[in-house]
Amino acid sequence: MSYSSYVFNTSPLWEHTEAARLSFFLWEREGFSRPESFVKLCAVKDKGIFARMWSFEDNLRCVFSVRDDPVYKDSCCEFFLAPVSGDPRYMNFEINPCGAFLSQIGPVRENRVFIKEITKLAPEVTPFSITENGKTAWGCEIFIPDALISELYGCNFRSQECEMKGNFYKCAEDSLSPHYGAFFPVGSATPDFHRPEFFGRIILRNFEGCAIL
């Protein structure tokens, strides 16, 4: 199982980017929900990686407002990415409807380091909402600059054709309608998104309709 997308030349062309549905709901019990949730990911050559996530979610919860608050207790979209081949560390970005986000790096769940402790550079997060067929979804767009990845991984990272590992998640731990959704399935017995052994392939290819210099 994989997610395939494009590297664009100057800016994200979302109309040419496939929307993937987060269809695996995990660790369910009575009272849990399954909100329709989607993601699009792409890259812009030598600029960075972009992702858009949105969810048609009832009982929206948005309590936290400060960076690195436990936003996973709110309605939350999450994006975990291991962008550098041979380096087991992955970044986790967790975002609530207010645009408050938690961002860390590390190889496993334990002893993760907040990105702000390593670099002054930061992801750019923009919340949004959309209405389709009379239903409203909350969403967020996240931009991860190449310069940020380069500092975190100690390399000259450039967004270009490549294959990475990662996963996309939807959760709402303390909501009236809790849930744990994922794009790639997670095979743990208890709630735990920090399982890189279950990350899937994220494949980026040059967009043929756009000149890549």
Q: Does domain 2-206 have CATH number 2.60.40.1190?
A: yes
Predicted pLDDT at 1: 83
Can you tell me the distance from the alpha carbon of 56 to that of 190, in angstroms, rounded to the nearest whole number?
Answer: 25
Structure tokens at 117: 């402790």
What are the boundaries of each domain within the chain?
A: 2-206
Q: What is the pLDDT of residue 213?
A: 36
Whole-model pTM?
A: 0.95
DSSP 18: P
Cα–Cα dist 6/14, whole Å:
10
The answer to whether 181 and 169 have CB atoms below 8 angstroms apart is yes
DSSP assignment letter at 153: H
Q: What is the pLDDT of residue 130?
A: 96
CA distance linking residue 49 with residue 44, whole number of Å: 6
User: Residue for token digits 């997670």?
Assistant: 186
* Strand segments (E) across 12-96: 20-21, 24-25, 36-44, 48-56, 75-82, 90-95
Tokens 């590390």 belong to residue: 106
**Own/partner long-range contacts of 207-212 (Cβ < 8 Å, ≥24 apart):** 207/6, 207/7, 207/8, 207/9, 207/13, 207/16, 209/16, 210/8, 210/9, 210/10, 210/13, 211/9, 212/7, 212/9, 212/45
pLDDT per residue as tens, the chain (213 positions): 899 999 999 999 999 999 999 999 999 999 999 999 999 999 999 999 999 999 999 999 999 999 999 999 999 999 999 999 999 999 999 999 999 999 999 999 999 999 999 999 999 999 999 999 999 999 999 999 999 999 999 999 999 999 999 999 999 999 999 999 999 999 999 999 999 999 999 999 999 874 443
Give residue 173's pLDDT.
97
Predicted confidence at residue 211, as pLDDT, reads: 42
Determine the pLDDT at residue 208.
85
Q: Which of 114, 126, 205 is nearest to 162 (CA)?
A: 205
